[in-house]
């Protein structure tokens, strides 16, 4: 009798975490490694947020809270949705979880039955398919071409919907591409969804404050309020406020679904850390000057990385609207051989050789269900990015 449950065979360990761990191990062993694989801001959490956490500890705010979050934080989250997106969620339509990943996990486990299909545009974040599979659902992938800015076309969504479709996922701005949707671009997608009343919508907007060049991102319910009754609008503090380790994700959704997610969370993690919730409250209600400075630096880094990668032989790199990733194509490198004799047959060969021969850690496109590309996170120092891109240029130039 096997100790390990069969359900674990449906999923794989996070490949982004695995590559970051390998890079850290090589660095600890003395290798000169530049890690560009982790989706984590290199900035420190703003001071007023840290101080709010310290004050929470000093004042004894260290006890259990309601499973769905403190009343003050749920109210602040509702205000955030109204302020940023014009969506009028009530506090009882909000739940706070231990990171955005738990919001997704709760939603899928609470609603998906065996055989239900979940439409996921690709390239996609590595965890979406595995979470769906763990809930016994079937991921249905819809490729989104670089020629269309890695954005979903309404006709492709329409073609993917079947009587078994339970959910449609949309991540904007996107991990791994940085692609973001304007209200005008979401309109035809909303029109398709209106025609299919049994399809629920999950919008992952966790990068919505990280956009550049004046781009205004939009979200589904903002564009089409008639979809509110079957949409989860997810966000969090991790990316915008450099709070990855604080583990705060949240969403707005119909009360019935929030209650189901609360029930599940009550038997798994219970409430998110009370101290992290106090910090999140300060993030959502406090000044955002630090966020503005982060966005300014991210834009400079994006422009640097896109320009340098497009100057590398065999690589083409689309300039994204948001997040802190680029997702360059490596079609001109495939079939070639490195100076150490490694043939580049696919994107995994490319990133493995790049790490081994040049000390640059990136994530292969197949991890995001989109081969022929690789992901770079530019949430690291400008100097490290310039050096990493120089090494990538040299790596590509040496391929024969």
Answer whether 181's CB lies under 8 Å from 217's CB: yes
Give me the mean pLDDT over the 43-67 stretch: 98
Q: Hey, what's the torsion of the CAs at 183, 184, 188, 194, to 10 degrees?
A: 30
The span from the CA of 213 to the CA of 328, in Å, is 20
Answer whether 175's CB lies under 8 Å from 125's CB: yes
Query: Are domains 6-44+290-397 and 63-285 of this chain identical in fold?
Result: no
How open is the CA angle 223-228-234, to the nearest 5 degrees?
85
Model confidence over 213-245: pLDDT tens digits? 999 999 999 999 999 999 999 999 999 999 999
- 71 pLDDT band, cuts 50/70/90, is very high
- 2 pLDDT band, cuts 50/70/90, is confident
Kindly tell me if the per-residue pLDDT of 15 is higher than 80.
no
For the residues of 41-66, what is the DSSP string, one character each?
-SSPPPHHHHHHHHHHHHTT--S---
Domain regions of the chain by residue span: 6-44+290-397, 63-285
The pair of structure tokens assigned to 164 is: 């078994």
pLDDT at 372: 98
Kindly tell me if the per-residue pLDDT of 248 is higher than 90.
yes
Q: What is the pTM of this model?
A: 0.95
- Please, how many CA atoms are within 13 Å of residue 379, restricted to the half-sphere of its CB? 27
Kindly tell me if the per-residue pLDDT of 309 is higher than 80.
yes
pLDDT at 16: 74
Cβ-based neighbours of 393, under 8 Å, separated by 6 or more: 308, 311, 312, 313
Under CATH, which architecture does the 6-44+290-397 domain have? Alpha-Beta Complex (3.90)
Model confidence over 286-303: pLDDT tens digits? 999 999 999 999 999 999
Model confidence over 87-130: pLDDT tens digits? 999 999 999 999 999 999 999 999 999 999 999 999 999 999 99
Q: Which residues is 234 bridged to in the sheet?
A: 204, 251
Answer whether 340's CB lies under 8 Å from 392's CB: no
3-state secondary structure of 209: coil
C-alpha pair distances (Å), 84 with each of 32, 46, 64, 319: 42, 20, 30, 25
Provide CATH code, domain 63-285: 3.40.640.10
- Please, how many CA atoms are within 13 Å of residue 321, restricted to the half-sphere of its CB? 20
Residue with tokens 């079939």: 335
- 389 pLDDT band, cuts 50/70/90, is very high
The span from the CA of 269 to the CA of 285, in Å, is 26
């Amino acid at each position: 009798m096997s100790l390990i449950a069969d359900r674990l065979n449906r999923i794989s360990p996070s490949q982004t975490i695995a590559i970051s761990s390998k890079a850290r191990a090589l660095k600890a062993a003395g290798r000169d490694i530049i890690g560009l694989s982790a989706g984590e801001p290199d900035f420190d959490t703003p001071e007023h947020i840290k101080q709010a956490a310290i004050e929470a500890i000093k004042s004894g705010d260290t006890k259990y809270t309601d499973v769905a979050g403190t009343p003050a934080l749920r109210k602040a989250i509702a205000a955030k949705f109204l302020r940023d997106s014009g969506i009028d969620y009530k506090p009882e339509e909000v739940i706070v979880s231990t990171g955005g990943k738990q919001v997704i996990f709760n939603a899928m486990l609470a609603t998906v039955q065996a055989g239900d299909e979940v439409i996921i545009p690709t390239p996609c974040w590595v965890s979406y398919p595995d979470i769906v599979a763990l809930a016994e659902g079937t991921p249905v992938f819809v490729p989104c071409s670089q020629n269309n800015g890695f954005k979903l076309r309404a006709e492709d969504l329409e073609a993917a919907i079947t009587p078994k479709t339970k959910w449609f996922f949309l991540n904007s701005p996107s991990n791994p591409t940085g692609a973001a949707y304007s209200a005008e671009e979401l309109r035809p997608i909303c029109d398709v969804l209106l025609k299919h009343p049994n399809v629920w919508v999950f919008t992952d907007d966790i990068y919505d404050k990280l956009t550049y060049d004046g781009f205004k991102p939009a979200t589904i319910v903002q564009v089409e309020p008639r979809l509110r009754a079957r949409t989860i609008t997810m966000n969090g503090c991790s990316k915008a406020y450099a709070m990855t380790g604080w583990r705060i994700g949240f969403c707005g959704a119909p009360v019935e679904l929030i209650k189901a997610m609360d029930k599940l969370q009550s038997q798994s993690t219970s409430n998110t850390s009370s101290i992290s919730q106090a910090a999140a409250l300060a993030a959502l209600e406090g000044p955002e000057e630090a966020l503005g400075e982060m966005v300014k630096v991210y834009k400079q880094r994006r422009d640097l990385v896109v320009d340098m990668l497009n100057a590398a032989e065999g690589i083409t790199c689309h300039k994204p609207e948001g997040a802190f990733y680029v997702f360059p194509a490596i079609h001109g490198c495939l079939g070639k051989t490195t100076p150490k004799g490694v043939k580049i047959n696919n994107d995994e060969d490319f990133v493995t050789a790049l790490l081994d021969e040049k000390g640059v850690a990136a994530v292969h496109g197949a991890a995001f269900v989109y081969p022929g590309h690789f992901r770079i996170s530019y949430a690291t120092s400008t100097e490290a990015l310039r050096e990493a891109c120089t090494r990538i240029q040299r790596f590509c130039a040496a391929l024969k």
